[in-house]
Structure 1
Amino acid sequence: MSFSLNAWFESEKTGQWGASPVHTNTLDVLFYRKISAEHAAERLLSDVNLRDSTQENAWGFWNLLFHAAASLPDHVDVLVQLILAIRQAEASPEGPNKLTQSLWSSWDDAHSFYYTWRTLDSSKSDLSSDNLTGADRWINFTSFSAKLVQQGDEMFMRECGIQAFFDIRDALETTLFSHANTLLPHSITSAEECLTTDIEAAACWIIHGGSKLQSVSNESFGSGWSRGLSRKTEFWDGEPGFSTDRWHFWAQRLETLAKEEFMSERAKEPVTKAVKLIEEVARAPIWSIAKEPCASI
């Protein structure tokens, strides 16, 4: 599900994400293809760097952009191009590129925010104005993040790719019982829906970023992640982190999960595509993996 552009921008006039009118207006004209991603980046960098509360403005902008990515899946490609343009832009004479400086911490905060949909208490939840569920936003944000990894440079892999590993691992290497133990007694979701959604999110990481993820070495993430990469799970006690054997296991696991009764019909299609992509990348010559086009769902 997605939110119409007009309705989304109307809802953002309340400024709940702390973004300035310049931020909202820039996204508006970008979404309607009135300016390029490069031009939009120039406008945003100028606004953020010239104002006093640069860090606060940067935080507000990224919240707005990530909210758009989670709400408007039909427009994530242009958002990815905008982020790449911001990353490539020169620092202004007034100071460094404040937007890029706060990108990684803001993305990490957004990932954590959308992940928590499963822990909400049903007695305290209200239907959002755009009729999107927390699961919808989690899937949309994951697909967007995977495209950043696929199209971005090594920093996107270092900062976002490590989370892709944890999301895929936690979805494919845990049981339904384990998922049930993470939920509140009055959670808005069941263990079955939670696991199905996480499996679909794992498939989205693979579909939109899999060829890059399958070619990365664990050393790319730095020594600080060695303990997390090497942790044993309910289904895996082999090599740590990403490995050829683990990707093969994940493909088998996805095939098995697709046949489970609790799996939704919506999740089965991306799961099947993810299995095919893992197999295709595994067969591809090493030199061609980085050039392989990203599949879409």
Structure 2
Amino acid sequence: MAPAEESQQLVFIDALLAGRANLTVTAEQLTRWAYDPKNFGDDAEGGLWDLWSTINYKAERTKSDDAIAHGKLVELVDAIKHLESPTNDAGEKSKCWEMTLWEQLPVFGANMRESWNCAFSLSRSEERVVRRERWINLNAFVARLTAVRIDDFELYAIWQLRDALEEPVEDSSFDAKIPAAVQWILYCGELIYTSKREYEHGPRVGDPARGGELWKGDKRGFCEERWRFWKSRFAELQHYEKLLPETRELAGKAVQVMESIEQSCIFDNYTPSNQNKYNIRVHSLVSI
């Protein structure tokens, strides 16, 4: 459920984005309720759900290329993650869903998954245009979070790149899917390129990192072969006339960024500490 426009949590976040409040103050304002034993005991899950929903709501409404605002939202999640945990009467750190506040960001992943499941749920064309923009913005936010490893959303990169690039282009939804996939290349591309991560599959867990119809490889995860396939698809799609011009332009920029990553990235030497250098290089490309 989206927060009310006048919600106090949104007021706190707006003040942060406008430069009227700092990260520490904002993180403490947003989480103050959790340090009241009565409030936390009554509905910890609901309070956490509202917190993450508000941050995601704001990310969806922040343009994907607004590096300053998205950077502040990413830093806000990190600031919350590093807050001192509230404790119960026995002095034990508070938990929700068996996850410790705040270091394990309880409920954040589930809340984000719901945001993913709700994509493109609107039918009227004017609503789809708005939803398309918000979907792209949310992917940019989660890609940035993943790049600096504040939380583990690497699988979301595969989901978005698979939906956009490993399936035949069938309808106008690809004018949202492809730009959303580009965000992962722009803001998390170096991690994706260097990752060798594979995901378990089978009756118990399903096959979350499986390939799409067009991907013939057998890897359930990231690999250089899959990266090359994604790059080739972006190269094809930049000339696909049924797509919007802005979608084709973004596909072309994704190819440029991927080639830049290949040329400058030392395999297995990527760490979050050099993400800023990568962001500078990407900014020079996406500003073309």
TM-score after normalising by structure 1: 0.76
State the alpha-carbon separation in 1 of the partners of residues 205 and 235 from structure 2.
29
* Post-superposition offset of 1:268: 2.7
State the alpha-carbon separation in 1 of the partners of residues 154 and 252 from structure 2.
22
Q: CA RMSD in A?
A: 2.6
Query: Are 2:240 and 1:254 aligned?
Result: no
Letter in 2 for 1:84: D
Deviates further, 143-152 or 36-45: 36-45
Aligned match of 2:134? 137
Q: Compared with structure 1, are the counterparts of its residues 226 and 247 closer, same or farther at alpha carbon in structure 2 (3 Å cutoff)?
A: farther
* Post-superposition offset of 1:204: 1.0
Query: Are 2:62 and 1:72 aligned?
Result: yes
Is contact 1:204–1:270 with CA below 8 Å preserved after alignment? no
Query: Is the partner of 2:173 in helix, strand or coil?
Result: helix
Query: Is the partner of 1:272 in helix, strand or coil?
Result: helix
* Post-superposition offset of 1:288: 4.3
Aligned positions of 1:234-245 closer than 5 A: 234-240=213-219, 241-245=221-225
Structure 2 counterpart of 1:110, from 111, 115, 134: 115
State the alpha-carbon separation in 2 of the partners of residues 236 and 222 from structure 1.
18
% identical aligned pairs: 23
Is contact 2:166–2:211 with CA below 8 Å preserved after alignment? no
State the alpha-carbon separation in 1 of the partners of residues 116 and 257 from structure 2.
24
Is contact 2:34–2:86 with CA below 8 Å preserved after alignment? no
Letter in 2 for 1:90: E
Aligned match of 1:91? 85
Aligned match of 1:57? 47
State the alpha-carbon separation in 2 of the partners of residues 127 and 243 from structure 1.
37
Summarize deviations over 1:211-231 as a string: whole Å, max 9, x none. 112222224x566767332x3
Gapped regions of structure 2 (runs ≥ 5): 95-100
State the alpha-carbon separation in 1 of the partners of residues 126 and 236 from structure 2.
35
Is contact 1:173–1:234 with CA below 8 Å preserved after alignment? yes
Aligned match of 2:173? 194
Aligned match of 2:188? 209
Aligned match of 2:16? 30
Aligned match of 1:48? 34
Query: Is the partner of 2:207 in helix, strand or coil?
Result: helix
Gapped regions of structure 1 (runs ≥ 5): 1-8, 16-20, 178-190
Aligned positions of 1:275-286 closer than 5 A: 275-283=255-263, 284-286=265-267
State the alpha-carbon separation in 2 of the partners of residues 68 and 24 from structure 1.
8
Query: Are 2:106 and 1:101 aligned?
Result: yes
* Post-superposition offset of 1:121: 3.0
State the alpha-carbon separation in 2 of the partners of residues 136 and 246 from structure 1.
27
Structure 1 counterpart of 2:168, from 138, 162, 175: 175
Summarize deviations over 1:3-44 as a string: whole Å, max 9, x none. xxxxxx9x712x5xxxxx2x2332132122222223321222
Is contact 2:238–2:250 with CA below 8 Å preserved after alignment? no
State the alpha-carbon separation in 2 of the partners of residues 287 and 86 from structure 1.
30
Higher helix share: 1
Q: Compared with structure 1, are the counterparts of its residues 127 and 254 closer, same or farther at alpha carbon in structure 2 (3 Å cutoff)?
A: closer
TM-score after normalising by structure 2: 0.78
- Which 4+ residue blocks in structure 1 deviate beyond 4 angstroms? 125-128, 221-226
Query: Is the partner of 1:101 in helix, strand or coil?
Result: coil
Matched positions, count? 253
Q: Compared with structure 1, are the counterparts of its residues 127 and 169 closer, same or farther at alpha carbon in structure 2 (3 Å cutoff)?
A: closer
State the alpha-carbon separation in 2 of the partners of residues 277 and 31 from structure 1.
28
The one of the two structures with greater contact order (alpha-carbon pairs below 8 A, sep at least 6) is: 1
Letter in 2 for 1:68: K
